[in-house]
């Protein structure tokens, strides 16, 4: 078969199977005509753009992106050069397709179609959030060293200061006792802060068992309903068929108690405050384990969502780092500890926030029978 015949056969295959192939791609693909109107789109693009192909074909690409978007400049560069151009970390978010939407863009000209450009978007959301968590874990290691130093260099002198203040309280006039009580209270507060930081230095193996996540969430919900969230409606959306998670039950309680407490504090005294807790099975998320070729599936999704004012945009990238907080009296260790616990379990936590919709999403591996270590024959005797 000649090269011409091969090329003809390849062209015939593409023309007949092209739409099927494009719809099978997980990334949005758009064909932009020379006049800027969207001429065609695959299924992923319909989902990404939140519009059907029929609607997309009636609008130019500029209707879907912010005014002056780098995407429009990129299209012009492809037309001028007649060659493919790649751009990374471009935010094309808009009210029409959702904000923010950070993507890598591959733009290429179409042969025999002067001015036509093919666009492919690759969302960076999950990769970016995982990268942020790795950075946060590095910061947590710094806290580990700091906690070890504080425990030795600060806690011991503080106990002496507290004891001295208690002795003084017995001999000073009544009007000065408020000062000795202030010393005692502040030393107690510093000790509690150091104790919280010491949790980061605990590198012992986690004792794990198959855990029903709904039992954990029901327990946390009862605590919230009878305490800090008694004035807030808490809704549940559970997948009853969810398999167990291989985890430490007490640590999971600590994670969700922290998240729901943060959500209730964000809502404050709003009369329409609501918190939504959901669980679901998402088989599509797989991560590579560093140092091996193994890929780990994280199909269990647990979410805590509230309708509070949201998290400031400039805080989102640093939300899980130690000492980052928006609370007046907050230590900034709560979410850092949550991220450490989830990371120690091989999971990932992320936050998406906008006004009246802040969602913390946890992805964790499901329990497999092989996860249970085999009993030691010597211990069995």
Tell me the pLDDT tens digit for each residue of 203-213: 667 788 999 99
| Pair of tokens at residue 379 | 């211990």
Q: What's the longest Cα–Cα distance across the chain?
A: 107
Per-residue confidence band for 375, with pLDDT thresholds at 50, 70 and 90: very low
Is the pTM here over 0.75, yes or no? no
Return the pLDDT at 13: 38
Q: Residue 38 has what pLDDT?
A: 93
With pLDDT > 90 as the criterion, what percentage of the chain qualifies?
23
Q: What is 26-123's CATH topology?
A: Beta-Lactamase (3.30.450)
Compute the mean pLDDT over every residue in the chain, rounded to the nearest whole number. 78
Alpha carbon distance 71, 131 (integer Å): 25
pLDDT digits (tens, 9 = 90+) for 176-206: 888 888 888 888 877 776 666 555 555 667 7
- CATH architecture of the domain 209-367 equals 2-Layer Sandwich (3.30)
Closest C-alpha to 210, from 340, 369, 345, 343: 369
Helix axes 213-225, 249-267, angle to 10 degrees: 40
Does residue 5 surpass a pLDDT of 60? no
CB atoms within 10 A of CB 376: 8
Enter the tokens of residue 144: 């580990």
Q: How far apart are CA 14 and CA 27, in angstroms?
A: 18
How far is 151 from 143, CA to CA, in rounded Å? 12
**Predicted pLDDT of residue 3:** 42
**Which of 118-132, 157-171, 287-301 tops mean pLDDT?**
157-171
At residue 71, φ and ψ (nearest 5 deg) are -60, -40
pLDDT (tens digit, 9 = 90+) per residue, 97-136?
Answer: 776 677 888 899 998 889 999 999 887 655 555 555 555 5
pLDDT band at 327 (very low <50, low <70, confident <90, very high): low
Cα gap 300→238, rounded to integer Å: 12
**Is 209-367 in the same CATH topology as 26-123?**
no
Q: How would you label 288-303 residue by residue, b for 16+ Cβ within 10 Å and e otherwise?
A: eeeeeeeeeebbbbbb
How do the domains of the chain map onto residue ranges? 26-123, 128-201, 209-367
């Amino acid at each position: 078969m000649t090269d011409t015949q091969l090329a003809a056969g390849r062209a015939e295959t593409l023309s007949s199977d092209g739409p099927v192939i494009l719809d099978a791609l997980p990334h949005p693909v758009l064909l932009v005509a020379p006049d800027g109107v969207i001429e065609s789109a695959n299924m992923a693009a319909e989902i990404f753009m939140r519009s059907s192909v029929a609607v997309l074909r009636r609008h130019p690409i500029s209707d879907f992106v912010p005014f002056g978007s780098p995407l429009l400049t990129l299209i012009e560069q492809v037309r001028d050069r007649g060659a493919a151009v790649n751009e990374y970390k471009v935010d094309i978010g808009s009210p029409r397709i959702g904000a923010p939407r950070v993507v890598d863009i591959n733009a290429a000209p179409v042969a025999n179609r002067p001015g036509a450009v093919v666009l492919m978007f690759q969302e960076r959301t999950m990769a970016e959030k995982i990268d942020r968590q790795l950075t946060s874990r590095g910061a947590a290691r710094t806290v580990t060293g700091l906690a070890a130093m504080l425990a030795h260099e600060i806690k011991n002198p503080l106990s002496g200061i507290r004891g001295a203040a208690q002795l003084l309280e017995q001999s000073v006039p009544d009007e000065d006792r408020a000062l000795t009580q202030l010393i005692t209270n502040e030393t107690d507060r510093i000790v509690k802060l150091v104790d919280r930081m010491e949790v980061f230095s605990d590198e012992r193996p986690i004792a794990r068992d198959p855990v029903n996540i709904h039992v954990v969430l029901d327990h946390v919900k009862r605590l919230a309903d009878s305490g800090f969230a008694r004035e807030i409606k808490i809704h549940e959306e559970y997948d009853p068929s969810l398999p167990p998670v291989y985890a430490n039950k007490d640590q999971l309680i600590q994670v969700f108690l922290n998240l729901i407490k943060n959500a209730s504090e964000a809502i404050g005294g709003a009369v329409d405050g609501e918190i939504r807790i959901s669980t679901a099975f998402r088989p599509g998320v797989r991560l590579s384990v560093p140092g091996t070729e193994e890929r780990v599936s994280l199909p269990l999704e647990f979410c805590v969502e509230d309708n509070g004012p949201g998290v400031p945009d400039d805080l989102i990238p640093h939300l899980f780092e130690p000492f980052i907080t928006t609370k007046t009296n907050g230590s900034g260790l709560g979410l850092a500890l949550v991220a450490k616990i989830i990371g120690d379990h091989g999971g990932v936590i992320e936050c998406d926030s906008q006004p009246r919709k802040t969602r913390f999403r946890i992805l964790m591996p499901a329990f497999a029978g092989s996860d249970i270590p085999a009993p030691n024959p010597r211990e069995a005797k």
